[in-house]
Each structure stands twice: as C-alpha cells, then as structure tokens.
Amino acid sequence: MNRDQITEQQRSRLAMVYIRQSSLHQVVLNVESGRRQRGFVERAVHLGWHSDRIVVVDEDMGESANRIGDRLGFEQMVSMAALGKIGLILAVKVSRLARANRQWYHLLDICAITGTLIGDVEGLYNPKTYNDRLLLGLKGTMSEAELHMIKQRLVASMRQKAERRELRRRVPAGFIWDDADRLQKDPDERVTAAIDLVFHRFEAVGTIHQTHLFLVEEGIQLPVRAAHGRGLSSGVDVESSKL
C-alpha cells in the first residue's frame, strides 16, 4: 500500500518505531545499526504522524527475537496494538520484530483486527488485505529460516574447531586453560580450598540447601568466573581448618 491509503483514524493513533539488536555486543559495537533504526522516526513523520504521536520502543536492545516472553518492549507493543492504540508499527526488517512464526503471526492477527499498519525498509503493509498479509507471512517465514541457517553455520564451525582440538569453551570457577591449552585446576589455593569445602560439606549434610545455609552462616565467599573468562572475584575467605 502507499501513503495515500493511510486513514486519519490510523494517524490519530500512535506510531511505534521498534528498535532491537540481538546482543549487547552488537549494541556496543554496531552503533550504525541502532542509528539507522532510530532514523525510522523521520519515516513516521513523512507518513503523516506528528512527532508527539511517535513512540520509540527500545526496551529490547540486546535481546534475541527468537525467545518468547523475554522482550518486554515487544510484549507491551502487542498489548497496545490489541487495544487499538497503535496505527503504525515500523521496523527496519521483519526480523527486528520477531524470529519465530508464533510471535509474528500473533502480531499479524492483532494488527489485522485493529487495522494497525506495519512498515519496514521495503514498504508499508496492511495485514488486513490478502496480498499484504501473504507478503508479510513470507517475510516472517524467511526470517525464521534465516535464524535456523545462522545456527547451523555456528554449530558447524564449532564442530570443525572441536575436530581440530581448538575449541575452547568457558570453564567453571576452579579450572583454567593453561598456556599449552590444557584444562587444569586453578593454581590459587584459596579457590581450590573453597571448592573442596563445598563438596566436603555436602557429603556431611547430604543436601544442597543445608550446604548453602552453612556457607551463608559462616560468611564464606565462593569463587566465580570473571567476565574476561579467566579471573576470579575478590575476597575468597576460607580457613583451612574448615575443610
């Protein structure tokens, strides 16, 4: 559909510009993508919405679109669309809105009932009309298939590295990769003492709950893996007499 087919009733509602990037890594490094998505505010203005009727939905930055129930911004937007408060939803691509057909078709059904339009970089669509709904359905299917192919490539790459014995996964606290890429116990005696204490106490009391209570009551701090993958948190306080 084109701009002239937008009704005044639709323009009287809100226009939502949905912005999402799949990971915090992308948010930090791929700044241009976020800037491009925010630029869709100008498109909403071009389509006839006043700036005070345009809402940017960016609560889901750093969240993957293949998870259901983890995107607060998307869920709130769907709820508002169901109440007939939204006249237009804009996103750079369909994949920004949803990667799973369950979410995508739920949104299309609601938009078709309430007369909410959907727009992306390629055009403007009315889910109530057959041709636009067919095209949106194909876009959603392709988006879900694209995610499947991305996962396949990632798994294949991991398997190849594993076959070459080059795959290195993040290991739990208490273990490290040494300079020869061998998995070893952490050389820090405070770390090994703390972990040994957990196992010895569990063997004595028999339950995780009682073990946890003991650690809390004694004020014992346990090692955790730091963000960079090899360090440990400070303050591991374990007396050797408690082992």
Catalytic positions are 22
> 142 is written with which tokens?
């392709």
The amino acid sitting at 133 is: R
Q: Name residue, tokens 């440990």.
A: 232
Residue 124 in contact with residue 2, Cβ under 8 Å? yes
> Buried b / exposed e across 158-192, counting CB within 10 Å, b at 16+?
eeeeeeeeeeeeeeebbebeeeeeeeeebeeebbe
The secondary structure of residue 173, as a DSSP letter, is T
Pairing outcome for strands 175-177 and 183-185: antiparallel
φ/ψ bin of 115: left (φ > 0), alpha (ψ from -120 to 50), beta (otherwise): left
Provide the angle, in degrees to the nearest 10, between the axes of the packed helices 208-218 and 189-205: 130
